[in-house]
Amino acid sequence: MSTAPDTPAAPVPGAAGAAPLRVALVGYGPAGSFFHAPLIAATPGLVLDTIVTGSQERRAQARAEHPEVRFADTAEELWTGAAPDLVVLASPNRTHVPLATAALEAGLPVVVDKPLAGTAEEARKLAALADSRGLLLTVFQNRRWDSDFLTLRALLADGALGDVHRFESRFERWRPHLKGGWRESGDPAEIGGLLYDLGSHLVDQALTLFGPARGVYAESDVLRPGAAADDDSFVAITHTSGVRSHLWMSATTARLGPRFRVLGSAAGYVTHGLDPQEAALREGRRPGDGTAWGVEPESAWGTLGAEESVRPVPSLPGDYPAFYAAVASALREGTAPPVTALEAAATLEVIEAARRSAATGQAVTL
């Protein structure tokens, strides 16, 4: 399938220096409070205007962190009252398609947290709707702006690894006890489980680096007592470029593997640990607060080389703020979105193939 960028949305009228674009954030759980709200608030040209949540506890939290914000009980209030300039959906996965559809039909540009939808077909329909209305539709694939990912992209651009033949990538955790909630639900309508959660990041990164997939093989298990959704999965992608991506996502890993191991004809690149931005956001740090943002300590740098001839590679700073800066630019100037809905559809096509492969034990050709 094609992964060509969507047609850029028509720019929002207004010259440079105009009033900030008013953003309505739907959902103030972990995604909304730790990621979207602080990044929106830190982006020049955007202002966090409204948060949609019926939880009084979450309203109190949001008011303490964003004193000027307004509240709405339901998303429907956003398209029946004074419409915002942008709607951001950080709500449960099952709501992404209906709420994005309603927002686009109301003439509002939309950012959707990953995954955009439960199926590639639904994602493509949303892309077509946004295109027909000339509206921005983009997906929050923030891991494209991880420190290690940006560093790897730079190494690939420089040809430092030669011809890459294998890309190994892991999001592994040790969480032997269930946390509860819709993400661990076995109800297909919830679109839960790690293939959709962490897999959305891993597959998106692999396709971004090495291009479309032509084949998928997967293994997926439910290992923790009482669990109903996949919590330990492996996905192998054969790209049309010839590169093979091996992706692990797990909540049951007592000993973690490398974050990246990338093997090429000239050298390999290995990293461990996670980009520091998520931890910083959860600790209450914010971009622009006077501290270095997204910078990894030297002890976390990856290594490049072959056998015993290896050297550390300074990590480029992670840059989650770049996502919303690109959103603001797309709305103001009509530039391309940071992530297209068709790219999200390509990721979902791989995830759907992985689910079929895991269920049958057979590789799936795309």
If you average pLDDT over residues 19-44, what whole number do you get?
97
Q: For 200-211, what is each residue's pLDDT tens digit?
A: 999 999 999 999
Q: For 37-94, what is each residue's pLDDT tens digit?
A: 999 999 999 999 999 999 999 999 999 999 999 999 999 999 987 899 999 999 999 9
How would residue 15 be classed by pLDDT, with cut points 50, 70 and 90? very low
The size of the chain, in residues, is: 366
- DSSP β-bridge partners for residue 47: 22
What does pTM read for this prediction?
A: 0.93
CA distances for 6 relative to 136, 138, 146, 334, angstroms: 9, 10, 24, 12
Tell me which residue has tokens 């057979």: 362
Distance between CA atoms of residues 243 and 263, nearest Å: 10
Mean pLDDT check: name the lowest of 76-85, 133-142, 294-303, 344-353.
76-85
- What structural domains and CATH numbers belong to the chain? 21-142+322-337 (3.40.50.720), 143-320+351-365 (3.30.360.10)
Give the helix/strand (H/E) hosting 201. Answer: helix 198-210
> Whole-number mean pLDDT of the chain?
94
If you average pLDDT over residues 182-191, what whole number do you get?
87
DSSP state of 159: T
As given in the structure block, the two tokens for residue 208 are 């971004």
How would residue 238 be classed by pLDDT, with cut points 50, 70 and 90? very high
Q: For 84-123, what is each residue's pLDDT tens digit?
A: 999 999 999 999 999 999 999 999 999 999 999 999 999 9
How would residue 179 be classed by pLDDT, with cut points 50, 70 and 90? confident
pLDDT of residue 256: 97
